[in-house]
Amino acid sequence: MLSRFLIEPIKQSKLESFFKDQYSPVFDLPNTEEIFKNTFELAFDNEDAKATTVIHACYDQVKEKYCAFINIGTTTQIDDIASLAIEYIFIESDYRTIQFHELGNMKLSEYLLLDYTIGTIGFSVKEQIGIHVIGLVPVNEKVREIYENMGFISLPKSGSHENEDWMIFNI
């Protein structure tokens, strides 16, 4: 039997049609659509080596629909160290609080951050090119606490704005 969730990177050439024809996220929280549009543009900006990103979509094979996506990129903005960066993570509202037994009783957000981004992508990148850090900037203090509980460490005064400090996970 196939696992319930299939996560796959979306090729840059298919991004626009993917979000137009296959998946229309329901942005139900303040500013999420605006943040998505900004991070979506990063996926098209191949000339800036500091902001190369790839969007990975999560498909629920039981309900036969897309339910989440995560934008993972590279950055040198964390103390000038080459790092993986989670630019954006979005989970559809009806998937946010469920602990899925197929994911070891984890929430989908935890799975995408810990198992997929850190466990699958992070360890692979670490072995191939030696990047040892995954960073993200939480959208608010409540989310910062959630990330701290997952093992991310806050780096005070590391962001480009006063309230945008990076959090890192050492691989």
Q: Are 127 and 118 in contact (CB under 8 A)?
A: no
Q: Are 120 and 171 in contact (CB under 8 A)?
A: no
Q: What is the pTM of this model?
A: 0.84
Name the 3-class secondary structure at 55. Answer: strand
Phi and psi based region of residue 130 (left: phi greater than 0; alpha: psi -120 to 50; beta: remaining): left
Q: Residues 93-114: what's their mean pLDDT?
A: 95
**What confidence tens digit (pLDDT) does each residue in 30-57 have?**
777 777 777 666 665 555 544 578 899 9
Check which CATH number belongs to the domain holding 115 and give it: 3.40.630.30
Q: How far apart are CA 58 and CA 117, in angstroms?
A: 12
Quote the number of domains for the chain: 1
| Predicted local distance difference test score (pLDDT) of residue 2 | 46
What domain range is 69 assigned to? 5-170
Q: In this model, does residue 111 exceed pLDDT 70?
A: yes
Q: Are 84 and 52 in contact (CB under 8 A)?
A: no
